[in-house]
């Protein structure tokens, strides 16, 4: 794939994934210890990672939408007509 793409290498993505990973580990540990309350706390921490990542993205710490795929609706005049090759 040509061009530069961050593939999620942003502070918002890293923070969200790290928090979710910690929550996953907490939930897994409490599941093995048969402690349902701790398990659900771990699940809540995992969901908190998504919320924190989303908030950080809206604060401008996420990936910028500079990639052509994210540019919606170009003008009709700017396009070349499709041509068949013979």
15 found inside a domain: yes
Distance CA 55, CA 86 (A): 53
84 found inside a domain: no
pLDDT: is 32 or 13 the higher one?
32
66 found inside a domain: no
Predicted confidence (pLDDT) at residue 43 exceeds the cutoff of 70: yes
75 found inside a domain: no
Q: Residue written as tokens 């499709």?
A: 82
The whole model's pTM is what? 0.66
pLDDT at 58: 85
Please report, for residues 11, 41, 56, 57, 80, the alpha-carbon distance to residue 25 in angstroms, rounded to integers and kept in the order given. 21, 11, 23, 24, 53
Total domains in the chain come to 1
Question: What is the domain range of residue 25?
Answer: 11-59
Kindly report the average pLDDT of the chain as a whole number.
81
33 found inside a domain: yes
Tokens standing for 47? 């969901």
């Amino acid at each position: 794939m040509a061009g530069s793409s961050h593939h999620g290498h942003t502070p918002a993505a890293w923070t969200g994934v790290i928090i979710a990973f910690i929550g996953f580990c907490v939930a897994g540990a409490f599941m093995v210890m048969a402690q349902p309350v701790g398990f659900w706390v771990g699940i809540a921490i995992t969901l908190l990672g998504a919320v924190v990542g989303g908030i950080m993205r809206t604060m401008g710490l996420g990936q910028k939408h500079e990639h052509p795929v994210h540019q919606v609706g170009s003008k009709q005049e700017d396009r070349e007509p499709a041509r068949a090759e013979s």
